[in-house]
Protein backbone atom coordinates (compact mmCIF):
# COMPACT_ATOMS: atom_id res chain seq x y z
CA UNK A 1 0.00 0.00 0.00
CA UNK A 2 1.19 3.55 -0.75
CA UNK A 3 2.10 5.48 2.36
CA UNK A 4 2.98 9.14 2.95
CA UNK A 5 6.60 9.78 2.01
CA UNK A 6 6.87 6.55 0.01
CA UNK A 7 8.59 6.75 -3.37
CA UNK A 8 6.89 5.41 -6.48
CA UNK A 9 7.70 5.82 -10.15
CA UNK A 10 5.88 6.10 -13.44
CA UNK A 11 8.33 5.51 -16.26
CA UNK A 12 11.36 7.71 -15.58
CA UNK A 13 9.45 10.06 -13.25
CA UNK A 14 9.91 9.37 -9.55
CA UNK A 15 7.36 10.68 -7.08
CA UNK A 16 7.29 10.98 -3.33
CA UNK A 17 3.76 10.49 -2.07
CA UNK A 18 2.66 13.87 -0.63
CA UNK A 19 1.74 14.40 3.03
CA UNK A 20 -1.92 13.43 2.67
CA UNK A 21 -4.41 11.98 5.10
CA UNK A 22 -5.71 8.94 3.23
CA UNK A 23 -9.27 7.71 3.54
CA UNK A 24 -8.96 4.13 2.35
CA UNK A 25 -6.10 2.00 1.05
CA UNK A 26 -4.67 1.63 -2.40
CA UNK A 27 -1.95 -0.47 -3.98
CA UNK A 28 -0.28 1.02 -7.06
CA UNK A 29 -0.46 -2.16 -9.11
CA UNK A 30 1.40 -2.87 -12.33
CA UNK A 31 -1.99 -2.85 -14.12
CA UNK A 32 -2.77 0.72 -13.04
CA UNK A 33 0.81 1.80 -13.74
CA UNK A 34 0.59 0.37 -17.27
CA UNK A 35 -2.73 2.19 -17.82
CA UNK A 36 -1.09 5.45 -16.74
CA UNK A 37 1.83 4.95 -19.13
CA UNK A 38 -0.54 4.45 -22.07
CA UNK A 39 -2.73 7.34 -21.00
CA UNK A 40 0.29 9.63 -20.77
CA UNK A 41 1.03 8.92 -24.44
CA UNK A 42 -2.57 9.81 -25.29
CA UNK A 43 -2.41 13.07 -23.31
CA UNK A 44 0.91 14.06 -24.88
CA UNK A 45 -0.43 13.37 -28.38
CA UNK A 46 -3.66 15.27 -27.60
CA UNK A 47 -1.73 18.29 -26.33
CA UNK A 48 0.52 18.32 -29.42
CA UNK A 49 -2.45 18.17 -31.81
CA UNK A 50 -4.26 20.96 -29.97
CA UNK A 51 -1.15 23.13 -30.03
CA UNK A 52 -0.72 22.63 -33.78
CA UNK A 53 -4.38 23.47 -34.47
CA UNK A 54 -4.67 26.37 -31.96
CA UNK A 55 -7.35 24.56 -29.97
CA UNK A 56 -7.57 25.63 -26.33
CA UNK A 57 -8.28 23.11 -23.59
CA UNK A 58 -7.75 22.88 -19.85
CA UNK A 59 -7.28 19.78 -17.73
CA UNK A 60 -10.20 19.24 -15.37
CA UNK A 61 -11.63 16.92 -12.74
CA UNK A 62 -9.23 14.50 -11.08
CA UNK A 63 -6.67 15.24 -13.83
CA UNK A 64 -6.40 18.80 -12.56
CA UNK A 65 -6.39 17.55 -8.97
CA UNK A 66 -3.57 15.17 -9.84
CA UNK A 67 -1.52 17.94 -11.47
CA UNK A 68 -1.93 20.20 -8.44
CA UNK A 69 -1.52 17.59 -5.72
CA UNK A 70 0.71 14.88 -7.22
CA UNK A 71 2.46 16.50 -10.18
CA UNK A 72 0.77 13.91 -12.39
CA UNK A 73 -1.75 11.11 -12.05
CA UNK A 74 -3.77 10.53 -8.91
CA UNK A 75 -2.40 7.00 -8.29
CA UNK A 76 -5.84 5.35 -7.99
CA UNK A 77 -7.49 7.14 -10.95
CA UNK A 78 -7.00 5.22 -14.23
CA UNK A 79 -8.46 7.78 -16.68
CA UNK A 80 -8.23 11.50 -17.49
CA UNK A 81 -10.41 14.43 -18.50
CA UNK A 82 -10.07 17.82 -20.14
CA UNK A 83 -12.51 20.66 -20.77
CA UNK A 84 -12.92 22.44 -24.10
CA UNK A 85 -15.24 25.01 -25.65
CA UNK A 86 -17.97 23.53 -27.81
CA UNK A 87 -16.91 25.85 -30.66
CA UNK A 88 -13.68 23.82 -31.02
CA UNK A 89 -15.50 20.48 -31.29
CA UNK A 90 -15.76 20.46 -35.10
CA UNK A 91 -12.02 21.06 -35.44
CA UNK A 92 -11.33 18.25 -32.96
CA UNK A 93 -13.49 15.86 -35.00
CA UNK A 94 -11.56 16.74 -38.15
CA UNK A 95 -8.23 16.04 -36.45
CA UNK A 96 -9.22 12.60 -35.21
CA UNK A 97 -10.89 11.72 -38.51
CA UNK A 98 -7.36 11.37 -39.88
CA UNK A 99 -5.66 7.96 -39.59
CA UNK A 100 -4.12 7.57 -36.12
CA UNK A 101 -3.73 5.18 -33.20
CA UNK A 102 -6.64 6.85 -31.40
CA UNK A 103 -10.41 6.75 -31.74
CA UNK A 104 -12.66 9.74 -31.03
CA UNK A 105 -16.12 8.64 -29.89
CA UNK A 106 -19.02 11.04 -29.39
CA UNK A 107 -20.77 10.75 -26.00
CA UNK A 108 -23.44 12.78 -24.21
CA UNK A 109 -21.08 15.25 -22.53
CA UNK A 110 -18.61 15.56 -25.41
CA UNK A 111 -16.07 12.99 -26.57
CA UNK A 112 -14.12 10.01 -25.37
CA UNK A 113 -10.71 9.23 -26.85
CA UNK A 114 -9.02 5.87 -26.50
CA UNK A 115 -6.68 3.56 -28.36
CA UNK A 116 -8.02 1.37 -31.14
CA UNK A 117 -9.35 -2.00 -29.95
CA UNK A 118 -9.18 -0.81 -26.31
CA UNK A 119 -11.97 0.80 -24.30
CA UNK A 120 -9.62 1.97 -21.55
CA UNK A 121 -7.69 3.87 -20.46
CA UNK A 122 -9.48 6.84 -21.98
CA UNK A 123 -9.51 10.62 -22.11
CA UNK A 124 -12.86 12.35 -21.67
CA UNK A 125 -13.31 15.69 -23.45
CA UNK A 126 -16.07 17.65 -21.72
CA UNK A 127 -17.57 20.38 -23.87
CA UNK A 128 -18.33 23.75 -22.33
CA UNK A 129 -19.89 27.05 -23.39
CA UNK A 130 -19.69 30.58 -22.02
CA UNK A 131 -23.00 31.68 -20.48
CA UNK A 132 -23.47 35.43 -20.96
CA UNK A 133 -26.29 35.32 -18.40
CA UNK A 134 -24.22 33.65 -15.66
CA UNK A 135 -20.90 35.12 -16.87
CA UNK A 136 -19.42 31.64 -16.38
CA UNK A 137 -18.19 28.65 -18.34
CA UNK A 138 -20.70 25.82 -17.96
CA UNK A 139 -21.00 22.30 -19.36
CA UNK A 140 -22.98 21.94 -22.59
CA UNK A 141 -24.63 18.79 -21.30
CA UNK A 142 -27.58 19.67 -19.03
CA UNK A 143 -27.29 16.48 -17.01
CA UNK A 144 -23.62 17.20 -16.38
CA UNK A 145 -24.47 20.74 -15.26
CA UNK A 146 -26.96 19.39 -12.71
CA UNK A 147 -24.61 16.70 -11.41
CA UNK A 148 -21.55 18.98 -11.15
CA UNK A 149 -22.74 22.53 -10.31
CA UNK A 150 -19.42 23.42 -8.66
CA UNK A 151 -17.63 22.96 -12.01
CA UNK A 152 -18.83 26.33 -13.30
CA UNK A 153 -15.85 28.64 -13.81
CA UNK A 154 -15.37 32.36 -14.19
CA UNK A 155 -13.29 33.65 -17.10
CA UNK A 156 -10.69 35.02 -14.67
CA UNK A 157 -10.37 31.60 -13.00
CA UNK A 158 -9.38 29.94 -16.28
CA UNK A 159 -7.46 32.69 -18.09
CA UNK A 160 -4.75 33.20 -18.87
CA UNK A 161 -4.15 29.46 -18.97
CA UNK A 162 -0.91 28.12 -17.58
CA UNK A 163 1.18 25.01 -18.10
CA UNK A 164 1.15 22.27 -15.46
CA UNK A 165 3.78 19.59 -14.99
CA UNK A 166 2.11 16.24 -15.53
CA UNK A 167 4.57 13.37 -15.03
CA UNK A 168 7.18 14.05 -17.74
CA UNK A 169 5.00 16.23 -20.00
CA UNK A 170 3.33 19.66 -19.76
CA UNK A 171 -0.43 20.22 -20.11
CA UNK A 172 -2.61 23.33 -20.22
CA UNK A 173 -4.73 24.09 -17.18
CA UNK A 174 -6.64 26.94 -15.53
CA UNK A 175 -4.91 29.96 -14.02
CA UNK A 176 -6.23 29.19 -10.55
CA UNK A 177 -6.13 25.39 -10.46
CA UNK A 178 -5.56 25.05 -6.71
CA UNK A 179 -8.54 27.26 -5.88
CA UNK A 180 -10.80 25.46 -8.38
CA UNK A 181 -9.88 22.08 -6.89
CA UNK A 182 -10.70 23.29 -3.40
CA UNK A 183 -14.09 24.59 -4.49
CA UNK A 184 -14.94 21.43 -6.39
CA UNK A 185 -13.56 18.82 -4.01
CA UNK A 186 -13.53 20.61 -0.67
CA UNK A 187 -11.02 22.95 0.95
CA UNK A 188 -9.12 20.00 2.44
CA UNK A 189 -8.58 18.20 -0.90
CA UNK A 190 -4.91 19.20 -1.06
CA UNK A 191 -4.23 17.56 2.30
CA UNK A 192 -6.87 14.80 2.49
CA UNK A 193 -7.35 12.19 -0.24
CA UNK A 194 -10.37 9.92 -0.53
CA UNK A 195 -9.24 6.69 -2.18
CA UNK A 196 -11.61 4.94 -4.55
CA UNK A 197 -13.44 7.69 -6.38
CA UNK A 198 -14.92 9.55 -3.42
CA UNK A 199 -13.08 12.86 -3.93
CA UNK A 200 -16.17 14.84 -4.93
CA UNK A 201 -18.07 14.64 -1.64
CA UNK A 202 -19.29 18.24 -1.85
CA UNK A 203 -21.02 17.60 -5.16
CA UNK A 204 -22.61 14.45 -3.80
CA UNK A 205 -23.90 16.43 -0.83
CA UNK A 206 -25.43 18.99 -3.19
CA UNK A 207 -27.26 16.18 -5.01
CA UNK A 208 -28.71 14.92 -1.73
CA UNK A 209 -29.80 18.43 -0.73
CA UNK A 210 -31.46 18.97 -4.12
CA UNK A 211 -33.31 15.66 -3.78
CA UNK A 212 -34.54 16.65 -0.30
CA UNK A 213 -35.65 20.01 -1.69
CA UNK A 214 -37.68 18.32 -4.44
CA UNK A 215 -39.32 15.95 -1.97
CA UNK A 216 -40.31 18.87 0.25
CA UNK A 217 -41.83 20.69 -2.71
CA UNK A 218 -43.86 17.60 -3.61
CA UNK A 219 -45.14 17.33 -0.07
CA UNK A 220 -46.32 20.96 -0.13
CA UNK A 221 -48.31 20.25 -3.26
pLDDT, tens digit, 9 for 90 and up, residues 150-202: 889 999 999 999 999 999 999 999 999 999 999 988 888 888 777 765 555 44
| DSSP letter, residue 153 | B
Rounded Cα distance, 181 and 161, in Å: 15
pLDDT for 3 = 55
Residue by residue, what is the 3-state secondary structure of 78-132?
CCEEEEEEHHHHHHHHHHHHCCCCEEEEEECCEEEEEECCCCCCEEEEEEEEEEC
Cα distances from 150 to residues 46, 115, 123, 143, in angstroms, run 26, 31, 21, 13
pLDDT for 75 = 86
Backbone angles phi, psi at 22, to 5 degrees: -95, 130
Helix (H, G, I), strand (E, B) or coil at 143: helix
Residue spans of the chain under pLDDT 70? 1-12, 15, 17, 19-26, 196-215, 219-221
Amino acid sequence: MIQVGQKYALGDVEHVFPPLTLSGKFKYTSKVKDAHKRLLLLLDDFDTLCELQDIEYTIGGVTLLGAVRHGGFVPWEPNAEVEMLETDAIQLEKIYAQPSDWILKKVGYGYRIHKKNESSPYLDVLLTTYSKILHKYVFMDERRREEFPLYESLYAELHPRRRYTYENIMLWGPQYGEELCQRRYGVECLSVAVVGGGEGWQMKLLKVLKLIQRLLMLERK
